Amino acid sequence: MTPRLFDYYRSSASYRVRIALNLKGIAYESVPVNLLEGAQKEPAYREVNPQGLVPLLEVDGLRIPQSLAIIAYLDATRPEPPLLPSDPADAAHVRSMALTVACDIHPLNNQRVLKYLTGPLGQDEAEKNRWIARWITEGFAALEAMAAPRAGRFLLGDTPTLADLCLVPQMYNARRFHVPLDDFPLLTRVDAEAAANEAFAAAHPDRVAPAA
């Protein structure tokens, strides 16, 4: 049965999973969940994913939420190409970089947090954008330094890993919110390298956006 990805085109977490599926050559059906219209809160979707979040992947008779859990499952069951190095030290380094994005940057800037800032907390658009820029800039500064000693074409060496799957969607977000990237030449270079890879390019929100 063809895997089904419950997806929102601008979701960073969904974007990571689309890249992983593409890199591994896994055909899948996209099931759009429009976060702006609140589709994730509808009872029918809550039955599929009690968290009411995206992504969720239906695969092998399972329903797997959370992007890093999905990618770990795909890497374990469809191991080529691997997204984590076989060397434990290298794998720990990749996980550390991936989690810098997935745990320390992205959650502070996701839609739920931003809506709370501009809703109950009463912050205006300018303050929201300062909030976004602060956490992306702080996280990217750490990631640039972490990657520098061992980076190649990608964040570790010359092949994509889980860390790159997390970086690329966050770079998209940074540009979307006009966060300056001049201080992050390594991250910018890796992002450009990824953009030349069709598996990454085909997962870009502009390529998967619903028709107007």
Domains of the chain, each with CATH number or no CATH: 4-81 (3.40.30.10), 88-199 (1.20.1050.10)
Q: How far is CA 97 from CA 44, 104, 133, 172, 179, in A?
A: 35, 10, 19, 17, 20
pLDDT by residue for the chain (212 residues), tens only, comes to 899 999 999 999 999 999 999 999 999 999 999 998 889 989 999 999 999 999 999 999 999 999 999 999 999 999 999 999 999 999 999 999 999 999 999 999 998 899 999 999 999 999 999 999 999 999 999 999 999 999 999 999 999 999 999 999 999 999 999 999 999 999 999 999 999 999 999 999 999 988 76
Neighbours of 139 (CB within 10 A): 20
